[in-house]
Amino acid sequence: MTDNARKLSMGETRQFCEQEGIKLHTSVRYSPESNGVAERTIGVLTNAVRAMLHNSGLPMFLWAEAYNTATDLHNRTPTRVLGGRTPYEVLYGVKSDVSHLRTFGAPCAIVEPKEWLKKLDDRATMCFFVGYKYEGGGYRVWDPKRQVVVELETLFSLRKACRRPPSTTHRFGPSTRMSK
């Protein structure tokens, strides 16, 4: 089944299908209602990627990292079609451990090896979480200074360290808290 895209419904693909006795079915153009499960899943993942990048404020060129992270999360989410089980659980036969999950774009720090550092260099580099190591057991972070994605075994979260200090005023006027 194809969505009537020219690449798939004309030319070499059509000839190949005819030669092999494959009947090519097409859906109505620009009609997501008639798309198959795979196309709908791609739409769901693309919407998740858009939201993740927008919410995190990270640059758009990290879309592939966001897509991989959204796919990993999707595979660990229970679905009605699988009787409340996750695709991960169906594939591997065990429930997925979700204790390692982190928020996309969350600030974090990587500790630099002492061998690389000079006496007054920063000992840690500020980075942003962008995903999970492909082989598992680690994380992927984006280093904005070097403009690279780095794989790590452990991650130091700066969630508490990066919180804004509580405001002393709010929209109804100054707060009653006194600062020292």
Q: What is the DSSP string of 12-50?
A: HHHHHHHHHTPPP-B--TT-GGG--HHHHHHHHHHHHHH
Lowest mean pLDDT among 30-34, 39-43, 114-118, 176-180: 176-180
Percent of all residues in the chain with a pLDDT value above 70, rounded to a whole number: 77
pLDDT score at 52: 95
Which one is predicted more confidently, 50 or 100? 50
Q: Which phi and psi angles does 48 have, rounded to 5°?
A: -65, -45
Ranges assigned E (strand) in the chain = 107-111, 124-132, 139-143, 148-152, 156-157, 169-170, 173-174
Q: Are residues 24 and 41 in the same domain?
A: no
Q: Which residue has the tokens 């591997």?
A: 92
Q: Are residues 16 and 40 in the same domain?
A: no
- Exposed/middle/buried for residue 104 (C-beta within 10 Å: 0-12, 13-18, 19+): buried
Which one is predicted more confidently, 4 or 168? 4
Q: Tens digits of per-residue pLDDT, 98-126? A: 888 889 999 988 877 778 778 887 777 88
Q: Quick check: is 1 in a domain?
A: yes
Q: Are residues 61 and 100 in the same domain?
A: yes
Q: Are residues 116 and 69 in the same domain?
A: yes
pTM: 0.68
Whole-angstrom CA distances from 111 to 54, 95, 167 are 28, 32, 31
Q: Quick check: is 163 in a domain?
A: no
Q: Quick check: is 73 in a domain?
A: yes
Per the structure, the count of domains in the chain is: 2
Q: Are residues 12 and 55 in the same domain?
A: no
Mean pLDDT along residues 150-162 = 63
**C-alpha of 134 from chain center:** 12
Which tokens in the block code for residue 6?
Answer: 């020219």
User: d(Cα 23, Cα 7) in Å, to the nearest integer?
Assistant: 16
Q: Are residues 58 and 130 in the same domain?
A: yes
Q: Are residues 53 and 31 in the same domain?
A: no
Residue positions counted in the chain: 180
Q: Are residues 42 and 54 in the same domain?
A: yes
- β-strand pairing of 173-174 with 169-170: antiparallel
Range of the domain at 44: 36-157
User: d(Cα 8, Cα 1) in Å, to the nearest integer?
Assistant: 9
